[in-house]
Structure formats: structure tokens, C-alpha cells
């Protein structure tokens, strides 16, 4: 049954802003999270991106703060990436449009001077990445004693990115008496541990079974032998897909993203495609996201740093050029499409070394991804020697990870090469006995 925002205890200013933003019905996470948050309870929400979780905590926080007061923040929202932090700030500004509440966003990647100036003007809400928040706090620019609410958004991503030490330090410097809200797309053991340290008798809300893709996303899997064939298949899909309104192509590394971007640049030109990864400067990244959001470009090539925090409602297609190694990222990547109950297509290219991760993804999402045959007209390239070696090495490593006793193909070869080196070293040292002790390799000395 549809629940409208009128049914919550929001004041007219907030209800008008919600209506102006074009929202009428609350999503499941909003229906379940808003009442306990308004009530002052600690809440743990398990919800993937695209389910409306930002509004689920922002709206009750705005309702509780009501109007600007004093110079120091009363709510702190911590997010893993600058993209997500900016996204949350945008949401807050939209929903607080009819109030005088002030929000400051803090993130690294550019000098802190402007951010310090904003802090000094006074604020009610801080949205920040963990590192920059701690830097400005330790430099004496932030007062925390007035904080009443602390939100950790996308806590699982913060774990993956190694932010745990900063999170623990933040927990040490904020008031003990406060309301805590924690949101995560997955419920891992680490998240469970964090929630035990952080939340007091929380209300746990899980809107979909953990880490399941949105029901509105159609998933396709292509088994593709190598990078060149992936490019050929990508070209074919782009030629035949008339219904691609907006497309994000995800790559595992910056290098792969640049290569795919260069290929698309030759095909479509700068007016159609942008690239987004950590090596790009702050302004370039913001411009790329805005151009994509505002329909100025149709295709965005990105690494996983951008797989969260891009809240674009009408992405029709996501292509995983590479299978993500952090398997939870698969859910976040394909969660870029099928948002806000619209349907979307998620296509994944998988080479032999990536099959290991696809099987793990399928286990995580409790689904088998349907396999589609490569169209007959796509030319299947022979895998170059170096790429084949790299794939074999990766498969060996995966087997060794699952079975420590596994001796891979590379294990024997390496031993043979080592033996040749040792023999060469031995023959050198026998000619000059004085040098024997210094020149002979350590491992050889141990053996003989």
C-alpha cells in the first residue's frame, strides 16, 4: 500500500520541499526508517543505493533541527567518497530549501581554505569524508560538543576503503549522548562488529534481502576471451542498442577506463562521452558527473570510485567491462540503473580469469546471471600471449586462495628458473672461491 509523505510528522516547509523535488510516495526504506529516526532511536539500515535511503535519514534530521541555531553543527554525516558527500549535500539543500538550515560539505582533493571559511560562517549540518573531517577537527576548526546526530552512510564501502581507524577516532571525539544512524548495502561480519561498537539497541531495517540487485534490472553475462574481443563486443552492442539513453561503463582499473574512453572518443567524440576515475582532478570529476547528469553526454566510463554517489535517475544501461574484484561492488554498479522503480539493463563481460568472481557474485546475490551468446558478427580475437599468461597467473592465484596446497603451473616453472639461476651463480663462484660466500644466493646456501 502506497504511503505518502503527508502521513509522517513533517512540517509544512519540509512537505512543500518534498513536493517541489517531485516525490509523492515514500519508498520501503523511508517508510520503515523515518518513524524510528524521528523518535530518536538508533537505526541500522541495510539498503542498496537507489532505494531512497539518503532521504530516509535526511528528512527526519531536518525535521528535528527545524531552523538554524548557533555556529556549530548539530548533525554530522560521514560518507566514503567526495561524490557521495556532494550528493548528500545536494539532497539536504533541496529538502531544506524552505528553511534557514545551513550545510557544509568537507572532502579532500582540494585545499581546505574555502571549507574553513564556510565552517567559520556557522552551520547546522556537516557532510564529510572521514579523512578531511579529522584533519579539520585536529586543526581546531570544528567543534563537536553540539552534535546530536551522527550518520555513517555506506559503512561497508568505508570498511573496504580502509577508513576504520578514522571512523574510530571520530567516535572518540563526538559526544557520547547522541543518536546514531548506520547505513550499509551489505551486512558483513565487519559491519556487525561496527554496529555493536556504535549503536545502542538499534532498530534494524532491511528492505531487500542483503545485496540483491533491484528487481527492475535485467542482467546479462557474456563470456569473452580477452580485452580486444570485449572492445569488439562493446562496439556491436553500442551499434545495435537504440534504447541506450544513458550508459555507464565500469572498468576495474584507471588504465582500462582510459583505454575504453579513448576507443569511445574515436567513435563518438567528446560531446558523447566522459571518463571518471581517481587520477582525474577534482573539477574534472565534478564536471564529468554534471555533464552526465544534465544529459550533455550519453556515456560515462568509470572505475568503482564512482560506482556509488552518482545519483542519476534515468541510467538505462550499465556495462561491466570488467568483473569487479570486490564482489559487493557488482550490486552497487548495477544499482546505478533500475533506480526509482524504472527498468534497466546490466551487461557484464567476463574473461576466463574473472569467472571466479562471477561465481562469488552469484552466491552473494543468490541468483544465476543469465548467459547470452556473443553475436555471430562479433570478431573473436586470439588472446595475446602476455594476456593469456596474466589470466593463467590469476587463475592459479584463485585456486591457491581456495586451496593453500594447490601447486599451480607457475609454481613448477618458477622453481626451474630459480634452479637455473642458482646453477649459474654456483658456476661463477666456484671459479673464485673467495667470492663464494658473498655472491652465492641465500636460498642456494640454505639448500646446499
Q: What is the DSSP string of 48-89?
A: -TTSSHHHHHHHHHHHHH-S--SSS-SEEEE-SSHHHHHHHH
Element (H, E) at 442: helix 442-447
pLDDT reported for residue 87:
85
- Residues 142, 129: Cα–Cα separation, whole Å: 14
* Kind of pairing between the strands at 273-276 and 247-250: unpaired
Q: Which of residues 96 and 207 earns the better pLDDT score? A: 96
Say how far apart CA 20 and CA 40 lie, in whole Å. 27
For residue 293, what pLDDT is reported? 83
Report the C-alpha gap between 314 and 334 in whole angstroms.
Answer: 13
Percent of the chain with pLDDT over 70: 83
The C-alpha cell at 183 is 547505513
CATH topology of domain 5-206: Rossmann fold (3.40.50)
CATH class given for the domain over 217-401: alpha beta
How far apart are the C-alpha atoms of 400 and 394, rounded to whole Å?
A: 10
Do 42 and 205 form a contact (C-beta atoms < 8 A)? no
**Residue 275, pLDDT score:** 86
Question: 38: which 3 cell numbers?
Answer: 524521528
CA quadruple 250, 254, 256, 259: dihedral sign = positive
Q: Are 107 and 129 in contact (CB under 8 A)?
A: yes
Predicted confidence band of residue 359 (pLDDT cuts 50, 70, 90): very high
| Predicted confidence (pLDDT) at residue 415 exceeds the cutoff of 90 | no
More confident residue, 366 or 139: 139
Rounded Cα gap, residues 364 and 328, in angstroms? 8
pLDDT category of residue 412 using cuts at 50, 70 and 90: very low
Q: How confident is the model at residue 336 (pLDDT cuts 50, 70, 90)?
A: confident
Mean pLDDT of the chain: 84
Residue 249's pLDDT band, with cuts at 50, 70 and 90, is very high
Q: pTM of this prediction? A: 0.58
Same fold, 5-206 and 217-401: yes
Every domain of the chain and the residues it spans? 5-206, 217-401, 409-447
Contacts of 83 (CB under 8 A, 6+ apart): 285, 289, 305, 306, 308, 309, 310
Work out the average pLDDT over 252-256.
87
- Which residues pair with residue 318 across a beta bridge? 248, 346
Binning pLDDT at 50, 70 and 90, where does residue 330 land?
confident
pLDDT tens track for 274-314: 888 766 666 777 788 888 888 888 999 988 765 555 667 67
User: Average pLDDT for residues 71-77, to the nearest whole number?
Assistant: 96
CA atoms within 13 A on the CB side of 354: 24
C-alpha cell at 243: 534504447
Q: Express each pLDDT in 141-190 by its tens digit.
A: 999 999 999 999 988 888 888 888 899 899 999 998 999 999 988 777 77
Confidence of residue 434 (pLDDT cuts 50, 70, 90): very low
Residue 59 burial by Cβ neighbours in a 10 Å radius (0-12, 13-18, 19+)? buried
Amino acid at each position: 500500500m502506497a504511503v505518502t509523505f503527508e502521513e509522517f510528522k513533517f512540517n509544512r516547509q519540509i512537505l512543500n520541499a518534498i513536493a517541489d523535488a517531485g516525490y509523492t510516495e515514500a519508498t520501503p526504506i523511508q517508510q520503515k526508517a523515518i518513524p524510528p529516526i524521528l523518535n530518536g532511536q538508533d537505526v541500522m539500515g541495510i539498503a542498496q543505493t537507489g532505494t531512497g535511503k539518503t532521504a530516509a535519514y535526511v528528512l527526519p534530521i531536518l525535521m528535528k533541527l527545524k531552523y538554524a541555531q548557533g555556529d556549530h553543527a548539530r548533525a554530522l554525516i560521514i560518507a566514503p567518497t567526495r561524490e557521495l558527500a556532494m550528493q548528500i549535500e545536494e539532497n539536504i539543500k533541496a529538502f531544506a530549501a524552505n528553511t534557514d538550515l545551513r550545510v557544509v560539505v568537507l572532502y579532500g582533493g582540494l585545499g581546505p581554505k574555502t571549507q574553513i571559511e564556510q565552517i567559520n560562517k556557522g552551520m547546522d549540518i556537516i557532510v564529510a569524508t572521514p579523512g578531511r573531517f579529522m584533519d579539520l577537527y585536529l586543526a581546531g576548526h570544528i567543534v563537536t560538543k553540539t552534535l546530536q546526530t551522527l550518520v555513517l552512510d555506506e559503512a561497508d564501502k568505508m570498511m573496504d576503503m580502509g577508513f576504520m581507524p578514522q571512523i574510530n577516532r571520530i567516535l572518540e571525539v563526538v559526544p557520547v549522548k547522541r543518536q546514531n544512524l548506520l547505513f550499509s548495502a551489505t551486512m558483513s561480519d565487519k559491519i556487525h562488529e561496527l554496529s555493536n561498537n556504535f549503536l545502542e539497541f538499534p532498530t534494524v531495517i532491511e528492505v531487500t534481502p542483503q545485496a540483491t540487485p533491484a528487481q527492475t534490472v535485467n542482467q546479462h553475462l557474456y563470456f569473452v576471451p580477452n580485452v580486444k574481443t570485449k572492445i569488439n563486443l562493446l562496439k556491436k552492442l553500442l551499434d545495435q542498442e537504440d534504447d541506450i539513453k544513458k550508459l555507464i561503463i565500469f572498468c576495474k582499473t584507471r588504465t582500462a577506463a582510459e583505454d575504453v574512453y579513448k576507443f569511445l572518443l574515436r567513435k563518438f567524440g567528446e560531446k558523447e562521452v566522459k571518463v571518471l576515475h581517481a587520477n582525474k582532478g577534482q573539477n574534472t570529476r565534478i564536471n564529468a558527473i554534471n555533464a552526465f547528469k544534465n544529459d550533455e553526454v550519453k556515456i560515462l566510463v568509470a572505475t568503482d570510485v564512482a560506482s556509488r554517489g552518482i545519483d542519476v535517475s534515468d541510467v538505462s544501461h550499465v556495462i561491466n567491462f570488467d568483473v569487479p574484484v570486490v564482489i559487493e561492488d557488482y550490486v552497487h554498479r548495477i544499482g546505478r540503473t533500475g533506480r526509482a522503480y524504472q527498468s534497466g539493463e546490466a551487461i557484464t563481460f567476463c574473461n576466463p580469469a574473472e569467472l571466479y568472481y562471477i561465481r562469488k557474485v552469484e552466491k552473494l546475490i543468490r541468483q544465476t546471471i543469465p548467459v547470452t551468446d556473443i553475436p555471430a558478427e562479433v570478431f573473436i580475437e586470439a588472446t595475446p600471449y602476455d594476456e593469456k599468461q596474466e589470466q593463467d597467473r590469476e587463475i592459479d592465484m584463485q585456486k591457491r586462495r581456495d586451496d593453500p596446497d594447490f601447486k599451480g603451473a607457475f609454481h613448477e616453472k618458477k622453481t626451474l628458473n630459480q634452479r637455473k639461476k642458482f646453477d649459474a651463480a654456483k658456476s661463477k663462484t666456484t671459479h673464485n672461491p673467495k667470492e663464494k660466500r658473498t655472491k652465492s644466493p641465500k636460498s642456494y646456501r640454505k639448500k646446499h
